[in-house]
A and B are shown apart, each in its own frame.
Chain A
Amino acid sequence: MTLISAASRAAMAGGLLLAGTCLSAAEDLTLWTLNFSSEASNEAFNKITAGFEAANPGVKVTIVTRGTDDHKTAIRVAAGTDKGPDIYFMWAGLGLGGEYVKAGLSLPLDKYYAEYKWDEKLVPAAASFSRIYEGGRHGVPFTFKGEALYYNKALFEKAGITGTPANYDELVADAEKLKAAGIPAITFGGTVNWHVMRLMDVILESKCGVEKHDALMNMKVDWTKEACATDSFAELDKWSKNYILSPFMGIDQAQSFNLFVAGRAAMMLEGDWLVQQLAEAGNLDDYDLFPFPTGTNRLYGFAEYHYVSTKAANPDLAAKFLDYFNSTEVQQSVLGKFSTSSINKQVVYDNLRPMDKKWLDIFNTFDKVYMNGDQAFPLDVTTEYFRVINEVASGNMAPADAATAMQTFIANKG
């Protein structure tokens, strides 16, 4: 081997190595998400990333998981630097996901929604959250959770309730029947603020309707000038005094669930995840569910999303990964690993339990969603919303004062 040929080979090898490095750097994809609650979820995520890497030679997908608070902090730290993920997990909604969108950390995905025809695959209610932000569509659903009223069939029967209520007034009438039969209508755990909040959310939707409810949550209207807001607080006051299993302010959601399973209360306002919990704790045949009868044709729920970062080195690759992640084939293969149901509506479900089937019907029926208050409001307003709700629910604040307290806080926020 001559010196020249050796040198040229070394140069070629170096060039290839350099090219390889550049290629590798360009084809790296990093996703930041939460620690998964089960090994099955971990395995499913690994399976998806391995599948994507196999289908796209040269691409390396790195998944970084953290606890909830660490994850939020890490994204904030990354926001101030050039480093950070290409894709990040965050809940949908103006309060949580919206804050990062507002800070310019999320890339609008309109062109990818069109290019990959995601709307044809995604459950409409789950995908609807991507439209709530200003400046385009943001994020792609990872999971979608619906919330509804679960009820104890035997207790309903004992109270002489034969069907599910068609509207809010019928629901209150049923709660009154349960009370007359000596049965607390519903159970909540007050120490976790978001549990009782759910009742306030659904009452607001029932009493205010779609437009006013949204306007209140978006802080576009004055809470003191909307009679429905005060009416809703009055209804919350009525429920807490008459229909919620008491005492409830000193227990949490898990204790509340135990009371529900023990037959101490007839209903529980929970998400689709409760089906599995009920199956493990008791007999599913003893329970059934129905969407909270707000009369607005919107489902109560929230979604977890994957957002593409504006700092992503290769947004096209990130979108391609999300398309792969949410494809029918992949979603079919990991069905039930992340959530009861998939965000892909083309997935086929086999051997569904009756309650799972009911959830599936609900998801396919509703194409509009109203979300939990803690995901709709900014974080500081959420904290005040919790406080005001708890004050009303524990009988320390009059409904009219509650609306004033909310508006005062919002006005002071500026």
Chain B
Amino acid sequence: MATRAIWSNTRIQAALLLGPALVVYVVFAVFPMLDVIWLSFFKWNGLDPVKVYVGTTNYVDVFTKDPVFWVAFRNTMIWTALSVAIPPMIGLALALGLNQPIFGRNTLRAIYYLPVIIAPIAVATMWRWMYDPFFGLFGQILTSMGLQSWVKDWLGNRDIALYSAFGAYVWQSVGFSMVLFLAGLQGVNRSLVEAARIDGAGRWAIFRYVTLPALRTTLTIVLVLAIISSLKAFDIVYGLTGGGPAQSTQMLALWAFTQSMQIFDFGRGSAISVVLLGVTLTVVIPYVRWTQKREEVAE
């Protein structure tokens, strides 16, 4: 009897259901995160038996002596700003277009979504060959159009390499935003749209005052995911430029990896990771709270 009462307790049921996931989360997410924070106060190369406590030296070195950190920081900020603006905008445009009853729209949806399921490192390899200034697709197209002077060292010129890499990222990520917006569009109340149309609202007015407000939650999700994924941008840059030329396309996540896993300075790599974590939380938490308040007000 008592046993049945225990099992029928909703709190216990919740704990039992959440427990396994919580254990996995603590072991594989919380503990490593705390470990990285702890490691950022030590000097350790992975070989020495003892980690040497150095206080905030790793942070001071990263901020004042590392010739690459601020380049990586700036690039990460640029990448994030572009990621928040461009792929969601294109994704929304595609979703609006492919939400219309046009011929072959399911095929088109699949085509636009296809790059999302390709591994970023494979995308990087593909685009690296397209960017080849001698034999690449873009060079050949421009040459065949008589625009040879427009052919650039897409990944070798520090002025454009970051944006070239971003082009590949847009190609790969735009389908993800599109799918989320398409899902959001299914929740737009058709009767409201019809009512607005009967009231004489044009396409823009319907989009601005009916569709867009209905997509607010989706928009929040898309933008938060875009911010998070762009702040930790790593694989596509790694595959395309490796952070070069001359570290000019270096990103915080890639630089943290380089310090830890290639230079084997685990303390400094951890310090960069902690900075990246701080930046992410600084950007994401206020944005989420702001949007939550807006939604509460709207309700």
Contacts and interface: CB of A to CB of B under 8 A. Distances in A.
A304 to B, nearest CB: 19
Given A76-B47, A249-B153, A255-B134, A394 B246 contact: yes
Contacts of A76: 45-47, 264
A383 to B, nearest CB: 6
B245 A250 contact: yes
Given A191-B155, A409-B67, A105 B47 contact: yes
Contacts of A100: 47
B67 A250 contact: no
Interface residues of A, number: 41
A380 interface: yes
B156 A247 contact: yes
Interface string A247-275: 11111100100110000100000000000
Chain A binding surface SS class: helix
A251 B67 contact: no
Nearest to B241: A191
Interface stretch (B113-121, B168-176, B224-232, B255-263): B255-263
Nearest to B164: A250
Contacts, number: 102
B241 to A, nearest CB: 6
A251 B156 contact: yes
Contacts of A247: 133, 152-153, 156-157
B101 interface: no
Q: How many residues of B sit at the interface, in one of the four size bands?
A: 35 or more
Contacts of A259: 134
Interface string B36-53: 000000000111110000
Nearest to B46: A76
Nearest to B155: A250
B70 to A, nearest CB: 13
Interface stretch (A9-17, A332-340, A384-392): A384-392
Interface in A72-89: 72-73, 76-77, 79-80
A99 B67 contact: no
B154 interface: yes
A250 B265 contact: no
A302 to B, nearest CB: 18
A391 B245 CA distance: 8
B135 A380 contact: no
A390 B246 contact: yes
A211 interface: no
Interface in A362-405: 379-380, 383-384, 386-388, 390-391, 394, 396-397, 405
Given A249-B244, A390-B244, 8 more contacts: A103-B48, A191-B156, A249-B156, A250-B132, A251-B133, A379-B262, A383-B262, A396-B246
11 contacts: A99-B264, A100-B47, A191-B155, A192-B242, A247-B133, A248-B153, A250-B133, A250-B157, A255-B132, A394-B158, A394-B245
